[in-house]
Amino acid sequence: MNSQSGEPPTMETATTRRGFMEWFSWALLGLGSVAMAIPILGFFLGPILKPRADEWVDFGPLTDFPQNSTRLVDVLNPLRGANDGMTGKVAAYVRRIEGETFQIFSTHCTHLGCPVSWFKESGLYMCPCHGGVYYEDGGHASGPPPRGLYEFEHRVEKDRLMVKLGHLPTLQDPGSAHVSGKNS
């Protein structure tokens, strides 16, 4: 009848147990798959379901930016997550032409997104990855980038420079940034 009575299990009992174990294994596999799928779906669907607009960020007083100069500024990304740490920072080049006329550039190359560097001596931005070069005004000078640098919206408020940013600009989704320069 069964193992408790000291007799070997019958064919029917063994089949029932095997069926239960199979069912239980499939149930565990299903639960594990659902548990793994939830964060992955959240990663891909989160930005679509809960889009957040770029925000105005205070870059500091105008006196921090001498006329006819370009300098790198890094600030906390307003769209950062609670656990982002250092990756929650975003950098931008601030070019003060004169008075309240500025250009604010993303540091990301419009080719594949590598960080570009500003070279004051040559008045050029250069990308270390594939040799992309941009003029001082952000326009494309040479190399594989298809466009000029991304340029962020900005305004002057109570003698402070405010810049609108948050999303990483890409050609498909530049967010509030636009592509800059004569040769864009």
Binding region for ligand FES (CB under 6 A): 109, 111-112, 114, 127, 129-132, 143-145
CA distances from 9 to 17, 20, 45, 89, 120 (A): 10, 15, 51, 66, 86
Interatomic CA distance for residues 43 and 49, integer angstroms: 11
Closer CB to ligand FES, 132 or 138, in the complex: 132
Closer CB to ligand FES, 59 or 125, in the complex: 125
**Residues ≥6 apart with Cβ < 8 Å to 141:** 124, 133, 134, 135, 183
Closer CB to ligand FES, 94 or 109, in the complex: 109
To the nearest whole angstrom, how small is the minimum distance from the Cβ of residue 136 to ligand FES?
17
Report which DSSP code applies to 133: E
To the nearest whole angstrom, how small is the minimum distance from the Cβ of residue 58 to ligand FES?
29
To the nearest whole angstrom, how small is the minimum distance from the Cβ of residue 47 to ligand FES?
23
To the nearest whole angstrom, how small is the minimum distance from the Cβ of residue 142 to ligand FES?
10
Tokens for 146, please give them: 């298809």
Closer CB to ligand FES, 78 or 143, in the complex: 143
Q: Are 181 and 145 in contact (CB under 8 A)?
A: no
Q: Are 168 and 174 in contact (CB under 8 A)?
A: no
Interatomic CA distance for residues 89 and 85, integer angstroms: 8
To the nearest whole angstrom, how small is the minimum distance from the Cβ of residue 167 to ligand FES?
18
